[in-house]
Structure 1
Amino acid sequence: MCGRYSVAARLEQLRDMLQEDGIMIDEFAADDRFGEYYPSNNVRPTTFRPVMYRQSGDNQLHGRLMRWAFIPPWEHEIPRGRPPVFNARSDNLSSNMWTKAFHEGGRCIVPADGYYEWLTLERTKEMGLSSAIVAQVNKTGKLPYFVRPREHTTRLMYLAGLYTKTHLKSMNGDNRDQIVYSFAIVTTDAAPSLEFLHHRTPLILEPGTEAFKNWLDPDYKHIEHLPMKNDAKMVERQIEADKADIYLSGPKDGQKIIDDKSSITRFLGAKRLGENDISSSKRIKSEPDSDEAELIKTPIKKEPTNSPSRSKDRLSPLHSPKKKSGKSDSKSQKITSFFSPIKK
């Protein structure tokens, strides 16, 4: 399943990365009424994130910031007091709230650096993992992993999704509808190479393939031929899972964002960045165990609108970032570089 993922690039950087993978997008449309986009290596449900889609009769690929938590088209208000629906099971797409989006042009693709999964003690015993792994998990109850593309494959991971456009009542009392785009990530049975982590994973699509093209094509009518499971060989060849040294938390409501990541923890050890930095190594207390919803006890809150400082670097949530070819000083790689603001 997928309860947290990473998009740690600014939109202009993301467009460049998509281009490297052979995907051309001019821009990601946004509505500033819902808060400013900020890169995050801890994307959580109900935030607005980049999504790619096509419209019927139009060959152009469009990009838009959409709310990660599906709002059915019959709703007139953002659902409150009940869990947000941010995953859609692949074996349930022809029923309930997914029917219209799945069959009538609501398929989309969500670009990501990768996603998080938590290895639980129960899972280690189910899968018969080594005693060393069991001992590590036993210390904290859960061990965070980051699942991402292998080096020399694609720059990004592409997750199948469903989106919808919902007309909500105006929150300003002007009797004008607000149009909100929202999406959910499609999940399926885990491929054998990732099964040790969880029995379900996002549906991953490979750029340049027919599956990728047809998923985005709203005029494609052979729904029965769309992929509902991951290509096991592709996942084993292109996707890897690494232990994340820390679970990177986003800013709490009211906190000032001081860089372009919603997570501010920088060090792999106990040393803090400075008294003005927000630092947290806290793991969330419980991860959702349902693909339909996650129990979020706090009310939905507007995203922080403070303008984040900019950086050319992107933070990896891993204890061991991807390495380029060539030699480098291993000691100098122990600390993820801090983000420098743009020079005016």
Structure 2
Amino acid sequence: MKAQGRGASALAPVMLPPMCGRFTQHLSWEELHRLADLIGQPRNLAPRYNIAPMTQVEVIRLGPQGKELAPMRWGLVPLWWKDPLNKLPATFNARAETVSTKPMFRSAFKSRRCIIPASGFYEWTGSKGAKTPHYFSAPDSRPLAFAGLWESFADPQTREMKDSATIIVGPANEWMSRFHDRMPVILDWGDIGLWMAGGDPGALLHPSPEDALQEWIVSAGVNKSDVGDDDPTLIERAIVAG
């Protein structure tokens, strides 16, 4: 019996909808302030270990005074969207190859780029009915800086203005391709200013270095999206036969 780590062999990849579709944010405001030079008053951030689309996530964006942390709906809603949200296509991910031209994302790509900080994310391998969940994080345990976009929209029911965001995904690097053919675009924290305000953001939309992530298998409990996401055991290494 052994726990799998970064060098573990993956099962045959399953071609799932664009990822990432689940991730974690167990972060501190102080840590994000140090990495991103945040402005504003510190606040307690509730740890979350199984974030699903259409729930609220923490997002770093450029505000009038500097980089600020703001809660947003995970699943971008363009300003022009008028139909009920349940008719909105899946917009929790945006493909790096088409993000500058797709009507859903092109306006935000031009002027509302953001960072979605993450402690890690999940992906699954194996056949239907026997999928194995894997957890991915930085080898040094620092937060990951996902390239993202944000947008304000009027809630179709209440007309209240709200904010929403999406994570940009691109082709997997060679290491990640053992698990999935896509991966989030992960930026160096030193490049987040260029991403949010630079003139050539497309130049940053490339796969991460091969050593950017570590991986291990976790409990199948993460497969459930109808329970609370405050359970830290979801990211613990599972003991697997080997």
Confirm or deny: 8 A CA contact 1:77 1:168 kept in the other structure.
no
Separation in structure 2 between the aligned mates of residue 65 and residue 318 of structure 1, nearest angstrom: 23
Separation in structure 1 between the aligned mates of residue 105 and residue 131 of structure 2, nearest angstrom: 32
Equivalence for 1:262: 229
Equivalence for 2:143: 156
Work out which of the residue numbers 136, 139, 144 in structure 2 matches 1:147: 136
Separation in structure 1 between the aligned mates of residue 88 and residue 106 of structure 2, nearest angstrom: 21
Confirm or deny: 8 A CA contact 2:53 2:92 kept in the other structure.
yes
Separation in structure 2 between the aligned mates of residue 223 and residue 83 of structure 1, nearest angstrom: 25
**How many Å apart are 1:119 and its aligned residue?**
1.1
> Is residue 2:187 matched to residue 1:205?
yes
Work out which of the residue numbers 177, 186, 194 in structure 2 matches 1:214: 194
Equivalence for 1:195: 177
TM-score of the superposed pair, with normalisation by structure 2? 0.79
Separation in structure 2 between the aligned mates of residue 319 and residue 22 of structure 1, nearest angstrom: 28
Equivalence for 2:108: 101
Could you tell me which amino acid in structure 2 is paired with residue 72 of structure 1? P
Runs of 4+ in 1 over 6 A off after TM superposition: none
Confirm or deny: 8 A CA contact 1:109 1:161 kept in the other structure.
yes
Query: Structure 1, residues 261-287: CA drift from partner, whole Å, max 9, x if none?
Result: 6254xxxxxxxxxxxxxxxxxxxxxxx
Show the 5 A alignment for 1:1-344. 1-9=19-27, 14-21=28-35, 23-27=37-41, 38-55=46-63, 58=64, 60-95=66-101, 96-103=103-110, 105-121=111-127, 141-151=130-140, 155-169=142-156, 171=158, 177-209=159-191, 212-217=192-197, 220-224=198-202, 226-232=203-209, 236-248=210-222, 249-252=224-227, 262-264=229-231, 315=232, 317-320=234-237
Unaligned runs of 5+ in 1: 30-36, 123-139, 172-176, 253-260, 265-314, 322-333, 335-344
Equivalence for 1:128: none
Number of residue equivalences: 218
SS of corresponding position for 1:52: strand
SS of corresponding position for 1:198: coil
Query: Structure 1, residues 236-268: CA drift from partner, whole Å, max 9, x if none?
Result: 23311111133323545xxxxxxxx6254xxxx
Confirm or deny: 8 A CA contact 1:27 1:63 kept in the other structure.
no
**How many Å apart are 1:223 and its aligned residue?**
4.1
Separation in structure 1 between the aligned mates of residue 26 and residue 201 of structure 2, nearest angstrom: 33
SS of corresponding position for 1:147: strand
Summarize the Cα distance change of 1:170–1:251 in structure 2 as closer, same or farther, 3 Å threshold.
closer
**How many Å apart are 1:192 and its aligned residue?**
1.0
Separation in structure 1 between the aligned mates of residue 84 and residue 162 of structure 2, nearest angstrom: 9
Query: Structure 1, residues 42-78: CA drift from partner, whole Å, max 9, x if none?
Result: 10011011000114xx461011100001111112354
Separation in structure 2 between the aligned mates of residue 98 and residue 28 of structure 1, nearest angstrom: 31
Separation in structure 1 between the aligned mates of residue 219 and residue 86 of structure 2, nearest angstrom: 34
Equivalence for 1:255: none
Equivalence for 1:342: none
SS of corresponding position for 2:235: coil
Could you tell me which amino acid in structure 1 is paired with residue 61 of structure 2? Y
**How many Å apart are 1:195 and its aligned residue?**
0.9
SS of corresponding position for 1:80: helix
Confirm or deny: 8 A CA contact 1:121 1:142 kept in the other structure.
yes
**How many Å apart are 1:186 and its aligned residue?**
0.2
Query: Structure 1, residues 155-194: CA drift from partner, whole Å, max 9, x if none?
Result: 21111111101123453xxxxx310100110000001111
